[in-house]
A and B are shown apart, each in its own frame.
Chain A
Amino acid sequence: MIYTYLILVVVFWIIGLTIWNKFYKNN
């Protein structure tokens, strides 16, 4: 479960950065 947790944390990083790139970066 701990390793799953760490992988899911990385997955959320990717989701968050994708949204950030689309809506917040360079405007």
Chain B
Amino acid sequence: MLTESSLLLWTVIILLVAYFGVVTWIGKKGSAHSKSMNGFATARGKVSPWLVGASFAASYSSANLFIGVPGLAYQHGTSVLWYTLGCFGVSWVGLLIFAKTFWRYGKKFGRVSTVPEWLGRRYNSRTLQVIVSLLILFNVYYIVGQNVGLATIFETVIGIPYFWGIIIGVAITILYIGLGGAFAQMITDGIQGLFMALASILIFISFFWTIGGGINVFGELTNQLNAVDPNLTTFVGVDGPYNSVLAIMAVQFLLFSFILMPHLLNKILSIETEEELAPFTLSSGIVLFVISTLMVLGGLAARVLFPTLNSADSAIPMYVIESFPSIIAAIMIVGIISAILSSTDSLYLGVTTSIGNDFYKVLAPVFKKNISQAKLDLQSVKVAKGSLILVGLLSLYISLDRPDSLSILIQFSFSAIISGILAPITLGYFWKKATNYGAIAAVITGAALYVIFTQFNVIANIYLAMFFASLASFIVMGVIGLLTATEEHEELVLKKIS
């Protein structure tokens, strides 16, 4: 006779194997497609825009949203809801504002497959392309956060020690990516987004029996949180990162610009025609809404039900296995694991594509003068695929030192990237005097200041640090642009913005 926990374990294992089987099958169908650099990176034009939208939302939502942010809610209470509100509302509005112009520039440049390449074309600067591809290496910390998320799930659900959880996490991630390629990712991420939406709705429905109170279930949840600690139900946090109105505003600024993350913008570049942007943006909004706004409430419920967890990040895995029958819990756990994988694969793809496409492909001709274009393209794909293992091992090494909060680590990594690229992308949209010198200075200023602010504790709140670093980056780019712009630079801006 199976016990409850071994039933859960075996269901999780069987479902994971089945899921990997489906990915392999789809990957085989798409393998011919990922031989060229462009096919490897974006799977352009082969996937329905509705599914690309779901895949955008699935890549957006990582261990940060499913494990980390509910963990913050478990610790700090309802003030964390400002974060997930921004994840849906502000980010979606950001996508709607940025998508069309970014896509049009991509079209104007011909086949552009990555953000560093987009910036390199916009400013006609290979130096900028190489610098931004190096900045994207900060995503290794983002990947570390995903590893920690997987290890936390294995630890909570199956009881595997953290060290082995990390090793297993990295191994299945590399396996998962090796099975697919961009084509398989786009499809499995899309399916996974829908799968995750279902899990989020189940969490929402479960409050009716775990918290109770009928139609006034959230009033009941608020009362019970209040009984645990009155500080958990305030609009502005008493402690934690959301402890001032200014910090909450800075969070919205961060989430507005979050969609400029290279692994997300790459999705826009895979849309074939301008008409297809409509279903893509609508589908992104719908799926993003469901999977980003509901899960965090599970972290609040966990605080009421299990007030003494060792690690706040284990709030959601704990809530799931305690609130649902084993089979349903197993499906949801695999859903969360696949949700983490769907972000991690996009991140790995973004990092390795940048190493191949924006670093190797740009620098190799400098050292090997007479290499043919076809050979260079083939070598770049090889370098991209080879760097996958290196990035995986590096992330494994860093993961072994467990971070206090998964969310804060992940948010550090993407804030560093955004602080660097926000000014060059947004000013590049419409400002005639945006120049390559200004853009290079802005990337270095934004990223360096963010790291200095946070590492030397100049500005303790990570959101405010990001806001001020970005502001400095805009100012630097503005001043240098005004000083260096010539007619040649002004020709590069998109003429018709209707």
Which of chain A's residues 1-15 have a Cβ closer than 8 Å to chain B? 1-6, 8-9, 11-13, 15
Residues in B with CB closer than 8 Å to A26 are 278
Is chain A's binding surface mostly helix, strand, loop or mixed? helix
Establish whether residues A16 and B278, one from each chain, have CB atoms under 8 Å apart when the complex forms.
Answer: no
Residues in B with CB closer than 8 Å to A23 are 96, 100
On whether A27 and B93 interact (CB within 8 A), knowing A1-B233, A9-B293, A20-B281, the answer reads: no
For residue B249, give the distance in angstroms from its CB to the closest CB of chain A.
14
Residues in A with CB closer than 8 Å to B289 are 9, 13
A8→B277 CA distance, assembly (Å) = 26
Q: Is B487 an interface residue (CB 8 A)?
A: no
Instruction: Select A1's contact among B88, B235, B275, B285, beta carbons within 8 Å.
Output: B235
Establish whether residues B88 and A9, one from each chain, have CB atoms under 8 Å apart when the complex forms.
Answer: yes
Residues in A with CB closer than 8 Å to B79 are 1
User: What is the total number of residues of chain A having a CB less than 8 Å from a CB of chain B?
Assistant: 21
Establish whether residues B222 and A2, one from each chain, have CB atoms under 8 Å apart when the complex forms.
Answer: yes
Q: Is B338 an interface residue (CB 8 A)?
A: no
Q: Is B85 an interface residue (CB 8 A)?
A: yes
Q: Is B234 an interface residue (CB 8 A)?
A: yes
**What mask results when residues 77 to 100 of chain B are scored 1 for a CB within 8 Å of chain A, else 0?**
011010001001110110011001
Establish whether residues A5 and B96, one from each chain, have CB atoms under 8 Å apart when the complex forms.
Answer: no
> Could you tell me which B residues sit within 8 Å of A by CB distance?
78-79, 81, 85, 88-90, 92-93, 96-97, 100, 218-219, 221-222, 233-235, 274-275, 277-278, 281-282, 285, 289, 293, 297, 300
Q: What would be 8 A-B contacts, judged by CB atoms less than 8 Å apart?
A: A1-B222, A3-B218, A5-B85, A9-B85, A11-B89, A16-B93, A19-B93, A24-B96
> Could you tell me which A residues sit within 8 Å of B by CB distance?
1-6, 8-9, 11-13, 15-17, 19-20, 23-27
Contacts A12-B90, A20-B285, A23-B100 known; list 9 others, CB within 8 Å: A2-B78, A5-B78, A5-B85, A9-B89, A11-B89, A13-B89, A19-B97, A20-B278, A27-B278
